[in-house]
Amino acid sequence: MKKVTFIIFILCTHFATAQQDSLYVLEADDKYVEDQFYVGVNYNLLTKSPSGIGQSSFSYGIIGGFIKDIPINRRRNIGFGLGAGLSFNALYTDLLATEEADGSISYQAVPDDISYKRNKLSLNFVEFPIEFRWRSSVAEDYRFWRIYSGVRISYLFSGNSKFVTDSETIKFKNPDIRDLQYGIYLSFGYNTWNFYAQYDLTNVFEDDLYTVNNESLELSVLKAGLIFYIL
């Protein structure tokens, strides 16, 4: 009888401990989220442009912001993310923007007889990423694999052209840049270091405003670089 009582006691203790562990995991799971600050750097590559228009220097972008994590499963490793942030982009091209006397903008390829140092189009946005998230994480481990993909909606707050030669610097605002832009993106990696790519689905400029070399002026951008997530 003593042996039976001892066995029952051991089993009850084990069951109680297991229940306690399960409750701890469940409690941890109920609170576990991956709200994150992010910052990234990328190379901007033109994927659409008129003939004779190319990139003249290293074009770059910087992004940063915060994403709210919304898990949808019990393990909390699958969910959605809603965020807000800023992006700063520089496009160095052979496309020369000229401000006319009436305030309008005209575009052409930089003439061969003009020597210049820099020809930059700056695009700065407030951005709102909406993404689907998968990760291999658990509540007790902050190092894990991740794949995040979604749509990034961008609203322009500043756009200007800057042309620099040995003798002068010409800078002005571009009112013809599309205010609302969007693109699809993907980020994946392990722990803090992650690869990032985004393809913009909209034209940089308002549609059908300009032609260059008898072609519609369309500029779309492919971005590729690194993004860092910080808890």
pLDDT at 58 over 90: yes
Domain shared by 26 and 39, yes or no: no
Tell which wins on pLDDT, 34 or 154. 154
Domain shared by 188 and 210, yes or no: yes
Domain shared by 17 and 63, yes or no: no
Domain shared by 137 and 203, yes or no: yes
CA angle, 169 then 210 then 94, to 5° = 40
Domain shared by 26 and 91, yes or no: no
Tell which wins on pLDDT, 161 or 2. 161
pTM summary value: 0.81
Would you state the pLDDT for residue 172?
Answer: 93
Hey, is 121 helix, strand or coil?
strand
Query: Which whole number is the average pLDDT over 85-93?
Result: 97
pLDDT at 7 over 90: no
What share of the chain has pLDDT > 90, as a percent? Answer: 56
pLDDT per position as a tens digit, 136-188: 987 777 789 999 999 999 999 999 999 999 889 999 999 999 999 999 999 99
Domain shared by 27 and 38, yes or no: no
Would you state the pLDDT for residue 221?
Answer: 94
Domain shared by 26 and 78, yes or no: no
Assign 3-class secondary structure to 75-97: CCCEEEEEEEEEEEEEEEECEEE
Domain shared by 39 and 27, yes or no: no
Number of domains in the chain: 2
Domain shared by 80 and 183, yes or no: yes
Would you state the pLDDT for residue 29?
Answer: 56
pLDDT at 114 over 90: no
pLDDT at 92 over 60: yes
When mean pLDDT is compared across 54-63, 144-153, 202-211, the lowest value belongs to: 202-211
Domain shared by 83 and 101, yes or no: yes
Domain shared by 178 and 222, yes or no: yes
Domain shared by 65 and 128, yes or no: yes
Would you state the pLDDT for residue 9?
Answer: 40
Query: Which whole number is the average pLDDT over 51-71?
Result: 93
Q: Give me the CATH number covering residue 65.
A: 2.40.160
Question: With 0-12 CB in 10 A as exposed, 13-18 as middle and 19+ as buried, what is 47?
Answer: exposed
Enter the DSSP assignment of 205.
B
Give CA torsion, residues 52, 57, 58, 59, to 10 deg: -60
DSSP per residue, 140-154: TB---EEEEEEEEEE
**What residues make up the domain containing 13?**
1-31
